[in-house]
Amino acid sequence: MTIAELFKKVLPFTKPYSKLIYYTLLLTVVGSFAAQVNAFILKYTVDRISDLLISGRPLETGLYLLGIITAVLLGKEIIYSIVQFGQKFYGEKLRIMIARDFSQAIVDRILTYRMAFYTSASNESGKLQTRIDAGISSLTRLVQNFFIDILPLFANAIVALVCMFLANFYVGLIGLLIIPVYFYVSQLQAQRLSGFRRNMRRYRENKNNQLINLIDSITVIKSFVRERTEASRHRQIQYDMTENQMSTRRTSFLFDSVKNFIEQIGVVFVIILTAYFVLSGNMSIGAIMFHIMLFNNVSAPIRQLHRIYDEVNDALIYSESFFDILEAEDQREPSGDYKPNTIQGKIEIRNVSFNYPNGHEALKNINLVIRPSEHTALVGLSGAGKSTIINLLDKLYEPTTGEIFLDGVNLQEYHTEFLRDHIGLVLQKNHIFKGTIADNIRYGKTGATDEEVIQAAQKAYIHEQIMDLERGYESEAHLLSGGQQQRIAIARMFLKNPPIIFLDEPTANLDAIAAEQIKASLDAIKLGRTVITVSHSISQIIDAEHIIVMEKGQVVEDGTHEDLYQQHGTYHKIFTAMASSLNLQKISESLKENENQ
Phi, psi of 275 (to 5 degrees): -65, -40
pLDDT at 556: 93
- For the chain, the residue count is 597
Q: Which stretches of 217-281 are DSSP H helices?
A: 218-223, 227-279
Specify the amino acid at residue 391.
N
Q: Do 453 and 441 form a contact (C-beta atoms < 8 A)?
A: yes
Specify the 3-state DSSP secondary structure of 361: strand
- Cα separation, 23 vs 28, in Å, equals 9
CA angle in degrees (0–180, nearest 5) for 260-266-269: 145
- The whole-number pLDDT of residue 400 equals 92
Largest CA distance in the chain: 133
pLDDT truncated to tens, each residue of the chain (597 aa)?
677 788 888 888 888 888 888 888 888 888 888 888 888 888 888 878 777 777 766 666 767 778 888 888 888 888 888 888 888 888 888 888 888 898 899 888 888 888 878 877 677 777 788 788 888 888 887 777 777 677 777 788 888 888 888 888 888 888 888 878 877 887 777 777 767 766 776 777 677 777 777 777 787 777 777 778 878 877 877 788 888 878 878 887 888 788 778 878 888 888 888 888 888 878 888 888 888 888 888 877 766 666 676 677 777 777 878 888 888 877 888 889 999 999 989 999 999 999 987 778 899 999 999 999 899 999 988 888 898 999 899 998 899 999 999 999 999 999 998 998 899 888 776 778 888 999 989 988 888 899 999 998 888 888 988 999 889 999 988 888 877 888 888 888 888 888 999 888 877 666 677 677 777 767 767 778 899 998 877 777 888 889 999 999 999 999 998 899 899 899 888 888 877 776 666 666 666 666 665
* Element spanning 352, H or E: strand 347-355
356 Rama class: left (phi>0) / alpha (psi -120 to 50) / beta: beta
How many Cβ atoms are within 10 Å of 36's Cβ, its own excluded?
19
566: left (phi over 0), alpha (psi -120 to 50) or beta: alpha
Task: Supply the pLDDT for residue 254.
Answer: 84
293-318 confidence digits (pLDDT tens): 888 888 777 666 666 766 777 777 77
Looking at residue 21, its pLDDT comes to: 82
pLDDT for the residue numbered 596: 60
CA distance 291 to 39: 8
Residues 416 and 333: beta-carbon distance below 8 Å: yes
Rounded Cα distance, 337 and 414, in Å: 6
Round the CA-based radius of gyration of the chain to a whole number and report it.
37
- Centroid of chain to Cα 1: 20
Beta-carbon-side half-sphere exposure of residue 583 (alpha carbons within 13 Å):
5
Contact 274, 288 (CB under 8 A): yes
For 212, 218, 238, 266, 362, the CA distances from 226, given in Å and listed in that order, are 16, 10, 19, 60, 33
Q: How far, in Å, CA of 425 to CA of 504, rounded?
A: 8
What crossing angle do the helices spanning 169-216 and 125-144 adopt, rounded to 10°? 160
From the centroid of its chain, how far is CA 132?
3
Buried b (16+ CB within 10 A) or exposed e, 450-489: eebbbbbbebbbbbebbeeeeeebebebeebeebbbbbbb
pLDDT of residue 582: 66
- CA distance linking residue 65 with residue 85, whole number of Å: 30
* 378-384, long-range: CB < 8 A, 24+ apart: 378/532, 378/533, 378/534, 378/548, 378/550, 379/541, 379/547, 379/548, 379/549, 379/550, 379/571, 379/574, 380/549, 380/550, 380/551, 380/570, 380/574, 381/551, 381/574, 383/552, 384/550, 384/551, 384/552, 384/553
d(CA 176, CA 173): 5
Going by the DSSP 8-state scheme, the letter that residue 446 receives in this structure is T
